[in-house]
Chain A
Amino acid sequence: MHGIILWAALGVMAPPESLTTVSVEIHESLPKNWDWTTAGTVNGGSFPASAFGFVGVPAKVNGRGIEIDRPGAFALHATATIKVPAGPYRFLLRARNSARILVDGTLLAETKTLVRNSAGHEPVPPIQVPEDLHWHALAAGDQERIVPWISDGNAHRVEMWAIVGGNGLRPETGELCAAIVRPGDVPRLIGSDIPLSDESWSRYADEEAARIVGLESADRRRAAGADDPFWTKRHEIARKESERAQAVVGEGNLIDRHFAAAKLVSVDDAAFFRRLSLDTIGVIPDPKEVAAYLIDTRPDKKARAVEARLNDPRWADNWMGYWQDVLAENPGLLKPTLNNTGPFRRFLYTAFCDNLPMDRLVSELIRMDGSALGGGPAGFGMATQNDAPMAAKAHILAKAFLAADLKCARCHDAPSHPFGQEDLFAIAGLLDGKPQVIPATSTVVRQPGGRMPTVSVALAAGDQVPAGWALTDIVAESLPPGVLPPNASSRDHLAALITSPTNTRFAPVIVNRLWHRLLGVGLVEPLDDWDGELKERHPELLAALARELMAHGYDLKHVARLIVNSELYASQVGPLAPAPSGSAAASVSISRRRMSAEQVLDSMFAAVGKPFRAEVLCLDIDGRRPPSEFLNLGRPRRAWQLATASNERDRPSLTLPVVQSLTDLLQVFGWRAARPDPITLREDAMTPLQPASLANSVVVDGRIARLSDDSEITELCLKKQDPEALIRAVYLRVFSRLPTDAETNRLVAYLGETYDGRIVPGVAKRPPMRPSSRSVSWSNHLHPDATTIQQDEERVVRDGDPPTARLTPQFRERMEDVVWALINSPEFIFLP
């Protein structure tokens, strides 16, 4: 507050165009012994920044909008003009790697080149106390320079140069910034009046990160537009192909026409809205949205709610955990050697954000282009320590998109499926662009004294299999004109075979997966293996939905819209009332579904309005190791973004306690810490560890139920209202419905006399302590201090969030019990 007044008095002037943005240029392919001054033309693009403060650089994309790595180290160059009253000042520069700040071309300060580290024995840097406690603390691994500067009151050109990435390092900026300091004030980021205080930096960093996401989306979509004409033509072919299937005639929702004979009873509005929210955005709805839906009297409110949900960007979040399992996305944070992939979660997420048509998404996945370790589809192509990575990928793709399970074919001809080992390795050949050699492990050998293998093995280790396509009864090898892109590679060829409108499986497999996710039962089961014993329901409906997908450009949302708008989707759980004999409807029921692990975690945090406040998913926070050994998956915002902190090393100094607490909970609900193999269905068994973990986990007891100063429930408790209103509001938050009178009374009675006088006057809200700044990284994790620091941190995390002092402990504990009990009730985790 008084900082702003000070700043106004300081009268820093920036030219009008840099009042809002600072232009930053990226210089790539720097020559050896680059001397800072002779950088060539801007060859890495430019982007606007809000100030001389960076949390990242927008990703670079290829001509189809796929993110790619920049070649080696690059330099950022930011310029701004400042004009401050005459007097003494200081400049501050913070950078992880080599950086410089210049005024009117004269070097003022510079930082040193980052030195890689592998041993891990460095001392843990002390938590740096800046000279003024209001200054934002220096991040781990960053260097700081503070130099005096005298202003003559005239305008001056300030430049910052900074080296990012290269030398096998991740292209991260750290908390790169330059600021000007007037005596007695906090530093202000150059190009703005933003103070470099903890709170302000944290807000700035979030805003900048969000702005970069916006820039990246725009870049990506613009680049991808170049491929639009090809896909428009492809979708026209698909539309024509779809017309070959029997059309479903009649008015209204095609699913409802199909189930016209069934007697459907709809759930109430609140239940529908909660179900719809979980199925589309993967999280329980905001209480305000529930209330608005409940009081909405417009006849088309359901369709409106559906439309809003389908267009919500969280649609992408809700698909992530699913495809991470199906496509075996398996990044490892530390020296991954367990059949790990790159973090291609990023490609999947942006593809769903952009609502990329499914045929196009799958084609890009199969092309495996872009950044392998930075999140592009190339990461799908990785399989660390796997001796036949392309066979592994062929298996995943066939299972995911063709429901053809070639698992057995990795080592022998499938005994229960019509696939030979040669079929799998031929597809692998298409992915690899060359013949495949059968590795020694991919065979079955009779051991001395062992039994004769009962499976047939046509190929021997060392045999060569040429690239090719053998699943010709799924799709013929010859494709209709226009399906293959020009100059098609063998991967393009495989992508076209899998996604071709003439492929008999691709569209039905996709819509069947969608149907299963939304209704809990597949029209064909198993979902990912259609060559064995099948349970089929309503084949004509499956065909009709597949036809819809093809006729509408493989837009998943189109089919989702049909389903969630149907009467069937809105029906109560249970068997449908018996339909007249002969009707197909008899074999469908609406099943009781449990939230997925991700939905449980995201929903409980949403219920109380807290963020995860987890550690950044990285064990090399000072950026001293290459991305092939240490990934940085960022700070998780949604459950799917988590990854296991486990690293098979048992070192206390390598723990991420908040992440661990969150993944522990995810895991008991079926999330996989490692995904070496693709699966469609997670285990759905109810285990005692599920309710036990909800009851005992620090996440629930110490964070969700805890009335800390960052809990929305705490704010509700501080409102002047009667206890009944509080309970109603809490029910709306946690269960997305209003309580019955009996339910209200029970909880009001539980609060009892603690309610009156619950507010402790005159106590201020405390800022959250987390995420705490980290000093332990791979470079120093073997130092004894590292263990002590992390063990202390584990203890602190085990205590949970600090309780608010604004409520009396007597009331607070009662109210925490109420929240704890609601979250622990089965009503929370089952979809209505």
Chain B
Amino acid sequence: MNSQALTRRDWLRLSAAGMASAELAAPAWADQRPPRGTADACILLWLGGGSAQIDTFDPKARGDGKTKAGSYYDAIPTAISGANLCEHLPRVAGHLDKCVLVRSLHHKIIDEHGAATNLLHTGRPTSETIAYPSLGSTVAHERGPGGDGIPAYVVVGYPNISRGPGFLGSKFGYIYLTDTESGPTGLTPPSSVAPERRERREALLESLRSDFHSGHPGEAAVADYVAASREAARLSGPAFRRVFRLADESPARRAGYGGEFGQRCLLARRLVESGVRFVEVAHNLNFLNGTGWDTHNQGQLKQHELIRELDHALAALLEDLQRVGRLDSTLVVVATEFGRPAEFDSGGGRGHQSTAFSAVLAGGGLKTGKIIGATDALAKTIVDRPVSVPDFHATIYAALGINPAKELRSADGRPVPITDHGRPIAELFG
């Protein structure tokens, strides 16, 4: 066995030169200097379930909800001349000059939520050889938190695999909260424990901890854990917790954002102000219409309520970011895992469509007021300027000053470009 192992290692030594060249080679097109934006934070509003582009950001001629394919609503003009939105997005329509509409997103992943959600978050199909990081984790990795004692990446919604850090490791994972009442999981001291009791038991713990620490001198693992405990106390301390106190905002402002989803958007603004780099806000409180954005069958009937809620909260967020002077430095992204066909299913709803769907980019220092891409009369086939998921991600990274072609290293040293050959949408920069 040994002689054979040696043979293998000899082989390695022989190929060491080749290996070095593999590691050192930079992507040739990196020299083309992908554009770099100036945003320093990103808020992703995630329309889980697959929002229907034809009923929101890419309206077409009306269908009848049964056999005649088409939009379910009328279209209205917007702040971009010649561009229409669905009638249930009136407030966003007024702010469309601060936005870029991308109407030509597409992918070929199976029309299933899990796989498509994963693709839209990581930019790649799943693989058995590596776990790819999410947008949020990559931004956390590249930009780090914007303040002391602040996490870089927060999810307001349910934790899932697609939002995870993949090979970047848990250090670049997210803090999450499922609703704005409850505070971030793991960092929010239980409300049932009164402050004086909390202090008292912390002191008791500190005595146990320091006994253990001093009883194990020179042990790095123990010292690291004790240090992590101190950092934990800071993260769950009053400074960061204050960010979650929405009651500190004026009642009028809170009301301006609307219901729970709006409050999540308000919280996102506060998080960004505190130094969080990437906030993902989930918008799928499915009790509004039953299905959330996954509008099969009767989910279609009250879809307009969902759209209106988005309109209200997104417009409030853009206005508020502008008010606090952070719209140019905060990229707001509205995205979903796929779109929906112009045709109606037997229950009057819509199935899944990944051949063409829409997303929105707003603020972030981009050259806004543009429509990127176009689809045919049924919003089914892209007729102009297709934007791939890697291109879309590259645009987000570039807006945040991150080179989308940069190669990250997996734990075992494999070079992995941030995007899979994504090219930023050039006309939004410079």
Decide if B209 touches A119 in the complex (CB within 8 Å): no
Which chain B residues lie closer than 8 Å to A692 at the CB level?
A: 186-187, 232-233, 235-236
Which chain A residues lie closer than 8 Å to B18 at the CB level?
A: 415
Give residues of chain A (221-262) contacting chain B, Cβ–Cβ below 8 Å.
none
Which chain A residues lie closer than 8 Å to B192 at the CB level?
A: 701-702, 799-800
Give residues of chain B (149-173) contacting chain A, Cβ–Cβ below 8 Å.
157-162, 164, 169-171, 173
Decide if A827 touches B212 in the complex (CB within 8 Å): yes
Which chain A residues lie closer than 8 Å to B298 at the CB level?
A: 121
Which chain B residues lie closer than 8 Å to A651 at the CB level?
A: 48, 284, 286, 292
Q: Is A385 an interface position by the 8 A CB rule? A: yes
Q: Is A652 an interface position by the 8 A CB rule? A: yes
Decide if A693 touches B219 in the complex (CB within 8 Å): no
Decide if B213 touches A474 in the complex (CB within 8 Å): no
Q: Is B297 an interface position by the 8 A CB rule? A: yes
Nearest to B200 among chain A residues (CB) is A817
Which chain A residues lie closer than 8 Å to B216 at the CB level?
A: 573, 592
A25 to B27, CA, bound (A): 67
Decide if B284 touches A650 in the complex (CB within 8 Å): yes
Nearest to B187 among chain A residues (CB) is A692
Decide if B186 touches A441 in the complex (CB within 8 Å): no
Decide if A668 touches B12 in the complex (CB within 8 Å): no
Which chain B residues lie closer than 8 Å to A667 at the CB level?
A: 170
Decide if B290 touches A407 in the complex (CB within 8 Å): no
A121 to B414, CA, bound (A): 46
Decide if A655 touches B158 in the complex (CB within 8 Å): yes
Decide if A385 touches B200 in the complex (CB within 8 Å): no
Given A592-B219, A750-B204, also A784-B11 (CB < 8 A): no
Decide if B118 touches A338 in the complex (CB within 8 Å): yes
B residues bordering A, Cβ < 8 Å? 1-2, 4-5, 7-9, 11-12, 15, 18-19, 21-22, 25-30, 32, 46, 48-49, 110, 112-115, 117-118, 125-131, 157-162, 164, 169-171, 173, 175, 178, 182, 185-190, 192-193, 197, 200-201, 204-205, 207-209, 211-213, 216, 219, 221-222, 224-229, 231-236, 282-287, 290-292, 294, 296-299, 337, 347, 412-414, 421
A784 to B291, CA, bound (A): 9
A379 to B221, CA, bound (A): 38
Which chain B residues lie closer than 8 Å to A826 at the CB level?
A: 209, 212-213, 222, 225-226, 229
Decide if A337 touches B222 in the complex (CB within 8 Å): no
Which chain B residues lie closer than 8 Å to A746 at the CB level?
A: 204, 207
Decide if B190 touches A702 in the complex (CB within 8 Å): yes
Nearest to A799 among chain B residues (CB) is B192
Q: Is A432 an interface position by the 8 A CB rule? A: no
Which chain B residues lie closer than 8 Å to A335 at the CB level?
A: 112-114
Given A644-B161, A670-B170, A683-B169, also A830-B232 (CB < 8 A): no
A644 to B163, CA, bound (A): 13
Decide if A592 touches B221 in the complex (CB within 8 Å): yes
Decide if B160 touches A454 in the complex (CB within 8 Å): no
Q: Tell me how far the C-beta of A280 lies from the nearest C-beta in chain B, rounded to whole angstroms.
A: 22
Given A121-B297, A787-B286, also A451-B128 (CB < 8 A): no
Decide if B187 touches A820 in the complex (CB within 8 Å): no
Q: Is A594 an interface position by the 8 A CB rule? A: yes
Q: Is A269 an interface position by the 8 A CB rule? A: no
Which chain B residues lie closer than 8 Å to A334 at the CB level?
A: 114
A573 to B211, CA, bound (A): 17
Given A683-B169, A821-B204, also A653-B115 (CB < 8 A): no
Q: Tell me how far the C-beta of B199 lies from the nearest C-beta in chain A, rounded to whole angstroms.
A: 11
Decide if B212 touches A825 in the complex (CB within 8 Å): yes
Q: Tell me how far the C-beta of B219 lies from the nearest C-beta in chain A, rounded to whole angstroms.
A: 5
Q: Is A648 an interface position by the 8 A CB rule? A: yes
Q: Tell me how far the C-beta of A73 lies from the nearest C-beta in chain B, rounded to whole angstroms.
A: 28
A524 to B235, CA, bound (A): 39
B-contact 0/1 string along A683-723, CB 8 Å cutoff: 10111111111011110011000000000000000000000
Q: Tell me how far the C-beta of B410 lies from the nearest C-beta in chain A, rounded to whole angstroms.
A: 10
Pull 11 A–B residue pairs with CB atoms less than 8 Å apart, ordered by A: A395-B129, A451-B29, A473-B7, A473-B8, A508-B1, A689-B186, A692-B186, A692-B235, A702-B192, A821-B205, A825-B209
B-contact 0/1 string along A430-467, CB 8 Å cutoff: 00000000000100000101111011000000000000
Nearest to A387 among chain B residues (CB) is B125
Mostly, the A contact residues are loop
- Shortest Cβ-Cβ A-B pairs, 3 listed: A504-B1, A692-B232, A392-B128
Q: Tell me how far the C-beta of A484 lies from the nearest C-beta in chain B, rounded to whole angstroms.
A: 22
A376 to B417, CA, bound (A): 38
Nearest to A392 among chain B residues (CB) is B128
Among the 9-residue stretches A8-16, A347-355, A671-679, the one with 4 or more Cβ atoms under 8 Å from chain B is: A671-679
Nearest to A661 among chain B residues (CB) is B185
Known interface pairs A592-B221, A650-B48; 20 further A-B residue pairs with C-beta atoms within 8 A, sorted by A's residue number: A120-B291, A121-B297, A385-B125, A415-B15, A416-B413, A418-B8, A454-B22, A504-B4, A593-B221, A649-B117, A649-B294, A673-B159, A676-B128, A676-B131, A677-B128, A686-B227, A692-B186, A747-B204, A799-B192, A825-B205
Nearest to A415 among chain B residues (CB) is B22
Q: Is A374 an interface position by the 8 A CB rule? A: no
Which chain B residues lie closer than 8 Å to A688 at the CB level?
A: 228-229, 231-232, 234-235
Q: Tell me how far the C-beta of A708 lies from the nearest C-beta in chain B, rounded to whole angstroms.
A: 13
Which chain B residues lie closer than 8 Å to A416 at the CB level?
A: 12, 15, 19, 22, 413
A830 to B235, CA, bound (A): 23
Give residues of chain A (517-570) contacting chain B, Cβ–Cβ below 8 Å.
529-532, 534, 539
Which chain A residues lie closer than 8 Å to B294 at the CB level?
A: 649
Q: Tell me how far the C-beta of A581 lies from the nearest C-beta in chain B, rounded to whole angstroms.
A: 24
Q: Which of B22, B110, B201, B213: most chain A CB closer than 10 A?
A: B201
Decide if B201 touches A450 in the complex (CB within 8 Å): no
Q: Tell me how far the C-beta of A382 lies from the nearest C-beta in chain B, rounded to whole angstroms.
A: 11
Which chain B residues lie closer than 8 Å to A447 at the CB level?
A: 421
Decide if A691 touches B225 in the complex (CB within 8 Å): yes
Which chain B residues lie closer than 8 Å to A594 at the CB level?
A: 221, 225
Q: Tell me how far the C-beta of A120 lies from the nearest C-beta in chain B, rounded to whole angstroms.
A: 8
Q: Tell me how far the C-beta of B226 lies from the nearest C-beta in chain A, rounded to whole angstroms.
A: 7
Decide if A452 touches B28 in the complex (CB within 8 Å): yes
Which chain B residues lie closer than 8 Å to A328 at the CB level?
A: 128
Nearest to A684 among chain B residues (CB) is B221
Q: Which of A335, A660, A678, A824: most chain B CB closer than 10 A?
A: A824
A651 to B157, CA, bound (A): 9
